[in-house]
Structure 1
Amino acid sequence: MRNLYISGYRTFELGVFKEDDPKVAVIKKCLKQEISQFIEEGIEWILTSAQFGTEQWAIEVVDDLKKEYPTIKIAIIFPFLEFGSNWNEKNQSKLNSLKQKVDYVEATSHKTYQDPSQLKNHQAFLLEHCQAALLVYDPEFEGKTKFVYQALKKKQETMGFELRLIDVDQLQNSSIEEEND
């Protein structure tokens, strides 16, 4: 395993509208545990698209983990050029800040958004270039991540591919641990 793809719920799917929401700390704690384990198992690169929520939090977690694991690399692979350009100023500023923290930034399509085929091609590119995936996702609570989850399950059935989920139970257990600390 060399490349790990990370995705999951978006902020609005989790009801998170502020960075200091306690849910964010719980999700980051779970991400840190899982990502650390993947790094210990030999992952060299983390791939993400920098979507709101899980993907942006993963970038922040990996940036923090670089103190402990200085050789880990992270890449943002956007689905198309100028991704996020229609976001409000605050969100664009955060995206620009995240781009400064990563080792590589690229887009699978070198055109601005044209049509949904770019998103499908982006997903195919990421699946082709990773050997494992980590999703903050629970199949009982579907969201936009459902589509990538289904594609990853299909890949898992046809080849040696590791898919790990951080599900609602894991998040709740981690939340309870936070409260008891």
Structure 2
Amino acid sequence: MLYNVLAVTGYKPHELGIFNEKHEQLSYLKKAILKKIRHLKEEFDIKWVITSGQPGVELWAAEATTILKESYPDLQLSTLAPFHNQEERFSEPIKKLYSTIWEQSDYKDYITKRPYDNPAQLRLKNQFIIDKSDALLVLYDEETEGTPKFYLSYALKKHETESYPIFYLTPDDIEELVRDELDNES
């Protein structure tokens, strides 16, 4: 089966205990995201990766997609921000990454065509991206709630009524990658 459009979401950095780009586990997490997107691209011939450009897993997945585009020229990146100027409250390093991803996106737009004015814009973003995608990749552990649960609620509804797969990247997947990397280093 082919899934042309893959939505990607997951935890925000603070939900993972990551407070800067120098966090010792961040490189492993980024490698795990890249590996999972590569696997889904190869298995299902993904053509588009969509995120809303939120800090954390979404920006790291967008970053991974830009790297994978070198090997897969047909792979494209879409950033669908929930509202204008979402990056206003981001820290400087995250603003810089967001700006880079925005510029490198093959398609970019705002779901609501105005600055933030109410939480409904975030709910609309989740629903809109799930509606526009064929599958979801989510970094989520059901024992550790967080912001991905909002995306998942829409994804699970869509999964119940049509063929909408939900692919998980779990802490166990990341631990396995870390073990493999450490084994290869020794």
TM-score normalised by the chain length of structure 1 = 0.94
Q: Secondary structure at the match of 1:22?
A: coil
Deviation at residue 150 of structure 1 after TM alignment: 2.3
Partner in structure 2 of residue 168 of structure 1: 171
Partner in structure 2 of residue 120 of structure 1: 123
1:51-70 mapped onto 2 (5 Å cutoff): 51-70=54-73
Amino acid at match of 2:139: V
Q: Secondary structure at the match of 2:159?
A: helix
1:50-109 CA distances to partner (integer Å, 9 max, x unpaired)?
Answer: 111101111111111111101100011000111112334333222112212211110100
Whole-angstrom CA distance in 2 between matches of 1:171 and 1:93: 26
Whole-angstrom CA distance in 2 between matches of 1:177 and 1:89: 33
Amino acid at match of 1:77: L
Whole-angstrom CA distance in 2 between matches of 1:16 and 1:88: 13
Amino acid at match of 1:114: D
Amino acid at match of 2:81: F
Partner in structure 2 of residue 15 of structure 1: 17
Answer yes or no: is 1:94 the counterpart of 2:93: no
Aligned alpha-carbon RMSD (Å)? 1.3
Of 66, 71, 75 in structure 1, the residue corresponding to residue 78 of structure 2 is 75
Partner in structure 2 of residue 180 of structure 1: 183
Consecutive unaligned residues in structure 1, runs of 5 or more = none
Whole-angstrom CA distance in 1 between matches of 2:52 and 2:84: 12
Deviation at residue 44 of structure 1 after TM alignment: 0.7
Whole-angstrom CA distance in 2 between matches of 1:93 and 1:79: 18
**Structure 1 pair 161–172 and aligned structure 2 pair: CA distance change class (3 A):** same
Deviation at residue 20 of structure 1 after TM alignment: 2.8
Whole-angstrom CA distance in 1 between matches of 2:97 and 2:46: 26
